[in-house]
Amino acid sequence: MILPLIPPAPIDRHALVTRHNVVLTAYDGERPLQVGNGEFAFGMDVTGLQTFAPFNTMSQWGWLRSPLPKGERIENYRMPIYPTHGREVPYPLPDPNHPALSDWLRKNPHRLNLGRVGLVLTKADGTAASPKDLRNIRQSLDMWRGVVTSQFEIESQPVKVVTVCHPKLDAIAARVESPLIGLGRLSAFVDAPGDDDREFAHFVGNWDGSSGLERLNSGRNRADFVRKLPGDGAYTHVSLTWTGDAAIRSPEPSLPLKLIRAEYGAEGSWADVTSVAERLIRENRLSLRVGNDLFGDPAEKRVKTLRVTYEEGGRRSTVEAKENEQLTIGGANRRFTLVPNPKGGALAFVCAFAPKLLSKRLPSPDATLIASEKAWPAYWQKGGAIDLSESKDPRWKELERRIVLSQYLMKVNESGSEPPQESGLVNNGWYGRFHLEMVWWHLTHWALWNRWDDIERTRRFYLRQMPKAKELAKAQGYQGARWPKCIGPDGQEWPFWNHAYLMWQQPNPIFFAELDYRAHPTAETLKKWQPIVDATADFLASWAFYDAPT
């Protein structure tokens, strides 16, 4: 007797994803939760916005070239020449005749933090709330819908914030509900940092000084701002729209800031660092990342805290921040503030970012939520899925959690029009540039999950970069295209020895083409990859040399 084969039941993808929804119950000023769409990502603290920690708002278009060193032009840079197998070959190394220009090429272009959106939370005594004032924290990320719900209390007053990212726009929407609105103790702010060309930056941008935003115009339920930075690609436009009765309040002169005492350390081992902290105050504002590099290490092998007592406008307060967290005191008046009518009871808004003024009407907060609730299930329903819930191995749930969470993070950070940098759109490493030898690790998984829409962008990237790659190969006396190692969207190699010599990145395009052809073995697939594969192979063939001893 032959029993009929019963096909397995399809994976319940909703259950698979939602059983791993992220839940946080404590403030963490170092690791953000994110919403995003691959082109744009918004990092947040447990308030659902960037209230206490200036986590980053980053995009694929947000890059800046700082002004060139005085008297220099890019054309002045010359690749140094080194003997290579009997030939004199130029390499993208620092130019000894133009060290300042070479350093500029190392740092530029660098990725920008587009801005910061947060809550202004005030206690009953009129002082600003701090992370230590948060109680009953519960923040949940619904990965199936791309929705973050953040709940907490301040002095027994509940606050609820729902945050989403639009799937096609560089925009977030938030809805805030709290009795604090009726008490006049809750509003929202928007701000933007100055330029910051640090190579590795957890909180990207220079937050010292006055606001980076200028108001262009405002009308009923909308205000438009611009940040202007010196250099090329220097304009960031920010548009804020809202529903209900609320008004924009412009920055006011900062209140006088006076430090009473600053201590750094752990229980039983505290160092007085008041003088160090005082030297960091700029325009009545103290903004720093807490760490041993500033204050030494008075309590080795223990997590340390910075405790600051200060007076602002004659009112005394004390705040704390742990090691590696950001501490900001004063300067709140540098921000543009969205103040709701106390009778409304809720505040809902959309904040959008763009390289040019957003002239068209922006979607409402509700429409943005609906768009997210459609786009994310569509993402989870396509491509591969792995359900380990019937496994007898006790490790199944943790492995499955990592698989699901990784797919969420990859969609948010690494599904855009440019290859991802090492840390996606979380923060800046290597000035936000991408390493083409690492593209294989960051993008091959899209093919293995059968999500070809997300990997097709890789082919288009190589086509965009081909003219520069062919130019480099020709300058070095080779055929085809020599793919760079570490670049921004302009394709300009960062002058550095391992960028100049390494070859790990060269075969990657051929591997991507092979993956595509295995899944789609057609003449059309061969045709669309042909120029990339031919140029890659031509370079590798002309680059190889005969080594007689071996």
253-262 confidence digits (pLDDT tens)? 777 888 999 9
**Predicted confidence band at 218 (pLDDT cuts at 50, 70, 90)?**
confident
Residues 164, 277, single domain; the answer is no
Residues 426 and 310 in one domain: no
pLDDT at 426 over 70: yes
| Straight-line distance from the first to the last Cα atom of the chain, in angstroms, rounded to the nearest whole number | 65
The pair phi, psi for residue 26, each rounded to 5°, is: -150, 150
Tokens of 512: 């991507």
pLDDT (mean) for 292-308: 92
Cross-strand pairs, 393: none
**The residue to which tokens 């005492």 are assigned:** 261
Domain match, 293 and 421 both: no
Task: Note whether 326 and 339 are same-domain residues.
Answer: no
- Dihedral (CA of 379, 382, 383, 385) sign: positive
pLDDT value at residue 289: 85
pLDDT of residue 316: 87
Sheet with 257-266, edge to edge strand ranges = 269-272, 257-266, 305-312, 315-322
pLDDT band at 546 (very low <50, low <70, confident <90, very high): confident
Instruction: Give the distance from CA 247 to its chain's centroid.
Output: 29
Per-residue pLDDT, averaged over 29-58, amounts to 96
Locus of tokens 């769409």: 37
> pTM for the full model?
0.91
Q: Is residue 86 part of a domain?
A: no
Per-residue pLDDT tens over the stretch 405-415: 999 999 999 99
What average pLDDT score do residues 411-423 get?
Answer: 92
**Model confidence at 209, in pLDDT bands (50, 70, 90)?**
low
Q: What is the pLDDT of residue 296?
A: 92
Which of 348, 370, 392 terminates a domain? The answer is: 370
- The span from the CA of 503 to the CA of 474, in Å, is 16
pLDDT in tens, 191-202: 999 888 888 888
pLDDT at 48 over 80: yes
What tokens does 328 get? Answer: 């900001």
Condensed to tens digits (0 to 9), the pLDDT of residues 105-160 reads: 999 999 999 999 999 999 999 989 999 999 999 999 999 999 999 999 999 999 99
pLDDT digits (tens, 9 = 90+) for 12-26: 999 999 999 999 999
Same domain, 24 and 50: yes
Residues 186 and 228 in one domain: yes
Higher pLDDT among residues 460 and 251, named by residue: 460
Instruction: Verify that 38 and 174 share a domain, yes or no.
Output: yes
Q: Which two tokens stand for residue 171?
A: 């925009």
Please give the pLDDT value at position 255. Answer: 79
Compute the C-alpha angle 444/450/453, nearest 5°.
80
pLDDT of residue 367: 98
416: in domain = yes
Q: Note whether 353 and 439 are same-domain residues.
A: no
SS3 category, 252: coil
Question: Largest alpha-carbon pair distance within the chain?
Answer: 91
User: Is 90 exceeded by the pLDDT of residue 446?
Assistant: yes
Same domain, 242 and 289: no
126: domain CATH number?
Answer: 2.70.98.50
Residue 332 scores a pLDDT above 70: no
Per-residue model confidence (pLDDT) at position 3: 63
Which residue matches tokens 């350390």?
Answer: 265
Looking at 314, 330, 346, which one is the last position of a domain? 330
Q: Considering only residues 323 and 51, tell me which one the structure prediction assigns the higher pLDDT.
A: 51
- Whole domain around residue 484: which residue ranges? 401-543
What is the per-residue pLDDT for 4?
66
- Residue 272 counted as domain residue: yes
72-109 tens-digit pLDDT: 999 999 999 999 999 999 999 999 999 999 999 999 99
Q: Within a domain: residue 77?
A: no
In total, how many domains does the chain have?
Answer: 3
Name the average pLDDT for the chain. Answer: 93
Strand pairing report for 336-340 and 186-191:
antiparallel
CA distances from 415 to 164, 300, 390 (A): 17, 41, 31
Last residue of a domain, one of 321, 354, 370: 370
Counting every residue, how long is the chain? 550
CB count, 10 Å around CB of 149? 17
DSSP-derived secondary structure for 41-65 = EEEE-TTSSSSSS---EEESS-EEB
pLDDT of residue 239: 96
Bigger pLDDT: 285 vs 510: 510
Give the DSSP letter string of 89-133.
EE-S---TT-HHHHHHHHH-SEE----EEEEEEB-TTSPBP-GGG
* Statement to judge: residues 230 and 358 lie in one domain: yes
pLDDT at 520 over 60: yes
Q: What is the pLDDT, as a whole number, of residue 287?
A: 84
The whole-number pLDDT of residue 337 equals: 95
427 and 347 in one domain?
A: no
SS3 318: strand
pLDDT at residue 210 is higher than 70: no
The reported pLDDT for the residue numbered 406 is 96
Indicate if 493 and 415 belong to the same structural domain: yes
Query: Does residue 264 fall inside a structural domain?
Result: yes
Cβ-count burial of 246 within 10 angstroms (0-12 exposed, 13-18 middle, 19+ buried)? buried
pLDDT at position 80 is 97
Name the residue with tokens 């640090």.
Answer: 198
What CATH number should be reported for the domain holding residue 464? 1.50.10.10
Please check whether residue 97 lies inside any domain of the structure: no
The answer to whether residue 261 is domain-embedded is yes
